[in-house]
Structure 1
Amino acid sequence: MSGRDLLGIFNLLIVAGVVAAVSYLALTLRPAEYDADTLCIAGIVPPHRVVIIDKTDLYSTQQAAVIERIILTQRDTLAVGERLSLFELDESGRLDATNQFSLCNPGSGDQVNPLYRNPDRIQARYEFLFDAPLQQALADLVVPKDAPQSPILEALAELAQEPSMAQTVPGRRIILVSDMLQNSEIFSVYGRSRGAVFDRLPPVADTVEAIREEYGLALAGVVLEIYLIERRGWESEQNGALRTYWAQVFNQLGVTMSWNVQPTDALS
């Protein structure tokens, strides 16, 4: 075999290597297909983050502003492909999807690979398809309403039974903005004439059993972040006995809970 033949073979190998590399990059960098309705990657169950605003009590203008910032922080910390849904516990005690907002983060301009996708175009798509509907939902979400019932625990358990929040869904996270003043058939924090908090609440085991009988183990494995809205005259109980009670209930239900206080003085 002549030197020219060897050089030709060598060149062919180089060309084949380049073609293979380009093909590999095209496959690995090619944008995934998205579901047109949810913006989620087709064929993949995404992690799901749900924000619930308890609207069964009135909020001040300052509190509404804080709630909006909490939601926008959740938006800004979403991973590409992670789903964000907004719900409200309304004045009738129902858990409603706010403006039917439940979308996956398709990626903003600074979250994409500029070698393969145009960041400006992706940012425009993000703002039009994801952020604009979110802003529209926010306009109503922070408008408070007063209500005779506040079935907080039941609402959480009901949500965890939804297919999009089932135990097969990875990364189930609920961000709950509430005063945590439960008022339902399972238990009510009201009625101070009945004595101290633990005297007027059922045993933790009874509350847990009531939830399990109705909703099974739906809440097990959920990560719950509570943003507590303090109420004047309730602060000591909210941050004392009630917090302890909630912690025990969620622990026995298999929920990982964190507690973030939004002080009354800073919000009103």
Structure 2
Amino acid sequence: MSRRPRSRRSPRKSDAFPLGWAIAGAAALVAIAVGFGWLYTGALQANPERDADTMCPKTGPTEQVLVLVDVTDPVGTIAQADILNQLNAMADTLPKGGLFELRTLEPGDARTTSIFSLCSPGDGSDLDHWTGNPEAARKRWDERFDGPLRAAMDAALHAQPADTSPIMAGIQQMAVERLGSTQAKSIPNRMVIISDLLENTPAFSMYRYGPDFDAYLASPAAAEYSTDLAGARVEVWLLRRGNEFNGTEVSTFWANWIRDNGGAFERGLNLQGVSP
């Protein structure tokens, strides 16, 4: 009988083996590249390009907290401590890229003076050692944002008193300068007005009419201080003084004024202590 021919081993298996490794290696490299790309993109999103002076993203703040402090009359010691505690808590919860602006109310045409206006750079708590430097971020937050803000808060409460209290004019200026742009209207906006809330100008004075909103509407102030608050959430923090005005009625007046000017009245807060 003739022998059966021996079958030759197919080269396909041996040939395919290195090809499979090559495919697996290429897939691994792609996965690594995608992973690093994801980390890099995430880092850019978490740390967008910022203005060197304001620390705000160059595309604009992600949120705005605008605080107006009326020190046209003295602020009592207890009220000062309460205000500082409340503002510190607010600043600590401001998201990265959010603007915190602190202004004092001024008499006359100046209306307000900005004494602090910076975006929070973040305290580093959202960073890890792969995508950022949390220690450097915390140091920057302490030195360039938190420390200067606390100093500005303290300075705001020790400004010089004045004969008039143009609260509406101050709010109007702040709204025009900070709420008027398309970018500002696309982000959350919050206003805090810290005052005894006793408007006192030639156009309208509560010392003459009391917290009478109808009297205000009939006064020249209704046209002069008409303001577009652009849907901003507004809080009024009432400094209590030893006078005849009812705090609830004063807060109600301002709630009506805020709504009449396109804002969302969020709350009225009676600050602790009595100011002179």
SS of equivalent residue, structure 2 residue 207:
coil
1:261 to 249, 254, 270: 270
Mapped to 1, the partners of 2:181 and 2:231 lie a distance apart of: 7
Mapped to 2, the partners of 1:263 and 1:135 lie a distance apart of: 20
Counterparts of residues 60-75 of structure 1 (less than 5 Å):
60-75=76-91
**Identity between Structure 1 and Structure 2 (%):** 25
What is the Cα-based RMSD across aligned positions, in Å?
Answer: 2.4
Q: CA deviation at 1:118?
A: 2.1
Please list the CA deviations of residues 124-158 of structure 1 after superposition, one character each: whole Å capped at 9, or x if unmatched: 11111212221331231111432210011121012
Counterparts of residues 108-127 of structure 1 (less than 5 Å):
108-127=123-142
Residue 253 of structure 2 corresponds to residue 239 of structure 1: no
State the one-letter code of the partner of 1:44: G
Which segment is superposed worse, 78-87 or 129-138? 129-138
Counterparts of residues 43-192 of structure 1 (less than 5 Å):
43-90=59-106, 94-98=111-115, 101-162=116-177, 164-168=178-182, 169=184, 170-191=187-208
Contact 1:175 1:227 survives alignment (8 Å): yes
Q: CA deviation at 1:122?
A: 1.0
TM-score w.r.t. the length of structure 2 is: 0.83
CA gap 1:59/1:45 in 2 versus in 1, 3 angstroms = closer
Contact 1:88 1:95 survives alignment (8 Å): yes
2:218 aligns with 206
SS of equivalent residue, structure 1 residue 97:
strand
Contact 1:230 1:262 survives alignment (8 Å): yes
2:21 aligns with 7
Mapped to 1, the partners of 2:272 and 2:244 lie a distance apart of: 11
Equivalent residues, number? 255
CA gap 1:218/1:167 in 2 versus in 1, 3 angstroms = farther
CA gap 1:56/1:109 in 2 versus in 1, 3 angstroms = same
Contact 1:187 1:202 survives alignment (8 Å): no
Mapped to 1, the partners of 2:131 and 2:50 lie a distance apart of: 17
Please list the CA deviations of residues 54-90 of structure 1 after superposition, one character each: whole Å capped at 9, or x if unmatched: 0011112222222222221221110111000110013
Structure label with greater radius of gyration = 2
Q: CA deviation at 1:53?
A: 0.7
CA gap 1:40/1:59 in 2 versus in 1, 3 angstroms = same
TM-score w.r.t. the length of structure 1 is: 0.85
Mapped to 1, the partners of 2:238 and 2:254 lie a distance apart of: 12
SS of equivalent residue, structure 2 residue 268:
strand
State the one-letter code of the partner of 1:180: L
Residue 23 of structure 2 corresponds to residue 25 of structure 1: no
Q: CA deviation at 1:223?
A: 1.3
1:224 to 234, 252, 262: 234
SS of equivalent residue, structure 1 residue 150:
coil
CA gap 1:57/1:106 in 2 versus in 1, 3 angstroms = same
Q: CA deviation at 1:165?
A: 2.7
